Each structure stands twice: as C-alpha cells, then as structure tokens.
C-alpha cells in the first residue's frame, strides 16, 4: 500500500509539472461556463445577427436549469472526453516506449500497483476537472436562469462521474493492449460513442449499459429521480469497471516489459 501511494504521488507530481493539473481543469471550467452563457444569450445573439423571422424567435425559449445542466454534460461527454482521451492515451505507452518503465519494473514493484496507481491518478484528475467545471456550470445556471436543487445536482453528478470512470478505465485497458497511442485513442472514443449510440437507440436492450448513465443524470436534474433501471446500469458499470481493471492488470503482468532488440 505504501508503495502504491509512492507510485500514485509520482503520477500526480508528473502531471503537475507537465501542467495537466492546470490545463485540463481549465478546459472543463471554460466549457462549464460557456454552456449556460451561450444558452442564455442565444436568443439575443440570433436576434442581433438576424436572419430569423420574428415569430421564430418566440419559439426559442430560454431553456430550463436542468436542461442547461444536461447540455453541459453533453459538452463534457464530447469535448471533455476527447481532451481526456488525448491527454491520457499515452498513459502506459509513453513510459514503455521511452524505456523508463523498464527501470521501474526491474525493482521490486508490483505490476498491479504500477498500473492501478496510474488509473487512480487519471481518474482523480478527470473527476476533479469535472467537479470544477460542473460547479461553474451550476453557479452560472443559478445566476442566469434558475437554481436546480442541490440534492439533484449532486446526485446527478455522481451518476455521471461513474460513466466518466468507465471511459477512463477503457483508456487504461486499451493502453495495456496496444503500444500505439493512436489505437488507444481511436478505440476508446469509438467504443464510447458506440455504447452511447446503442443506448439511445435501444434503451431497452441496453438498460444495463454505462451509456445509460448520462440520461439518468439528466432525469435526476429535473425530477430528482433517475430513469427506469438506473440501479441496474450503476451496478453493471461498477462491475464492468472492476472487471476491466482486473483484465488490464492481468494483461500487463503477462506482457513482457523488455522487447527483443537485435
């Protein structure tokens, strides 16, 4: 455990020095602010720059608070995930390809600890960035439009965070499988999109899937209650995450650290 914490601290220190702990939260904060602001000013912007007939303008109502929070999550699920995947696609490959990994794993270091420390760090950074960005979104929504009950906000955010952890775990799993960062990024984003698409197309067959979590979060913002079978998809996501971490550790242990050079 002590060793795990040392590995974890090293990951944090590295991300502080290469500014990941600065720019990733900043990106989330920016999108967290921009979404409520643009939603709020959208009718006025359209009005000033014209083009739309008068009657159409009345059809664009200022969205409700829960709606804006849901839109913010939508932004995070697109740009936020893209940024996180690109930032962490080299989480294993970088050290492996540069040869620094070999120097560490030749020491009495647990392969499992090495891997899970990296996973914990990137998840922590992702979740922290999300919480910061989302807090700004909530505050701006409160100032500009209306306040959403705090309990709803927190409950919805927790459900959404679980979906985020699912994506971070996908990055980890693909990182242990492939040495190419492009492959890791492509597969993680691809699979995330497929899962969320299938979930919105066939909500019944996909009721268990992590892709359902964001729609449950939207529903919580509005009513305080998740959609049908929310607990099923929460339980399944937790299970999938732990199984994926387990598989990643297993693969990583059995993969050779040193490559054959002639």
Partner 1 sequence: MNLITAESLTRAFQSTVAVDGINLSIKEGVCTALLGPNGAGKTTTLNMLTGLIKPTGGSIAFDERYHGDRRQYIGYLPQFPKFYGWMSGQEYLMYTGQLCGLTKKAANERAEELLTLVDLAEAKRKRIGGYSGGMKQRLGIAQALVNNPKLVILDEPVSALDPIGRREVLELMKKLKKTTSILFSTHVLHDAEEVSDDIFIMNRGKVVIEGGLAELQTKYQKPTIYIETEEEPDIWCRALKKKEWFRHMHLDKKQLTITVENINTAREELLADATLHKLKPLRFEVVRTTLEDLFMEVAKK
Partner 2 sequence: MEEVTEMLSEVNWSLIVPILIIQFVLMVIAFVDCFRHNRTNGPQWVWILVIVFFQVIGPILYFIFGRRND
Give the footprint of partner 1 on this chain (CB under 8 A). 3, 6-7, 10, 14, 17-18, 98-100, 102-109, 256-258, 260-262
- Those residues whose C-beta lies under 8 Å from the C-beta of residue 173, and which sit 6 or more positions away, are 244, 245, 247, 248
Ranges assigned E (strand) in 181-252:
none
- Those residues whose C-beta lies under 8 Å from the C-beta of residue 16, and which sit 6 or more positions away, are 22
d(CA 92, CA 144): 43
Q: What x/- string results for residues 5 through 24 when contact with partner 2 is judged by CB under 8 A?
A: -------------xxx-xx-
Does residue 51 bind partner 2 (CB under 8 A)?
A: no
Least distance to partner 2, CB of residue 176, Å: 20
Least distance to partner 1, CB of residue 14, Å: 6
Does residue 91 bind partner 2 (CB under 8 A)?
A: no
Least distance to partner 2, CB of residue 194, Å: 23
Q: With CB cut-offs between 5 and 8 Å by kind, which of partner 1, partner 2, none does residue 104 bind?
A: partner 1
Q: With CB cut-offs between 5 and 8 Å by kind, which of partner 1, partner 2, none does residue 87 bind?
A: partner 2
d(CA 237, CA 231): 10
Only one residue has tokens 């050079």, namely: 261
Comparing CB distances to partner 1, the nearer of 100 and 205 is: 100
What are the contacts of 81-84 at 24+ separation with CB within 8 A?
A: 81/167, 81/189, 81/192, 82/189, 83/24, 83/27, 84/24, 84/122, 84/126, 84/129, 84/167, 84/168, 84/171
Q: Which residues bind partner 2 (CB under 8 A)?
A: 18-20, 22-23, 26-27, 29-30, 33-34, 37, 41, 44-45, 47-48, 83, 86-87, 94, 140, 143-144
């Amino acid at each position: 455990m002590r060793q795990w914490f040392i590995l974890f601290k090293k990951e944090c220190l590295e991300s502080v020095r290469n500014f990941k702990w600065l720019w990733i939260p900043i990106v989330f904060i920016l999108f967290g602010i921009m979404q409520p602001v643009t939603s709020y000013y959208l009718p006025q912007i359209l009005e000033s720059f014209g083009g739309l007939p008068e009657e159409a303008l009345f059809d664009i109502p200022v969205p409700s608070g829960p709606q804006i929070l849901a839109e913010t999550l939508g932004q995070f699920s697109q740009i936020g995930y893209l940024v996180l995947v690109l930032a962490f696609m080299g989480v294993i490959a970088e050290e492996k390809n540069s040869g620094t990994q070999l120097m560490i794993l030749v020491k009495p270091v647990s392969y499992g600890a090495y891997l899970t420390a990296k996973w914990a760090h990137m998840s922590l950074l992702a979740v922290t960035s999300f919480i910061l960005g989302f807090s700004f979104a909530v505050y701006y929504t409160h100032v500009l439009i209306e306040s959403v009950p705090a309990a709803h906000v927190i409950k919805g955010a927790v459900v959404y965070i679980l979906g985020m952890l699912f994506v971070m775990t996908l990055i980890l799993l693909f990182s242990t499988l492939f040495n190419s960062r492009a492959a890791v990024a492509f597969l993680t984003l691809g699979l995330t999109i497929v899962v969320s698409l299938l979930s919105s197309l066939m909500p019944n067959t996909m009721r268990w899937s992590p892709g359902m979590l964001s729609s449950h979060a939207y529903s919580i913002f509005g009513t305080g209650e998740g959609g049908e079978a929310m607990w099923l998809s929460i339980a399944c996501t937790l299970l999938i995450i732990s199984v994926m971490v387990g598989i990643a550790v297993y693969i990583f242990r059995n993969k050779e650290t040193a490559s054959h050079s002639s």
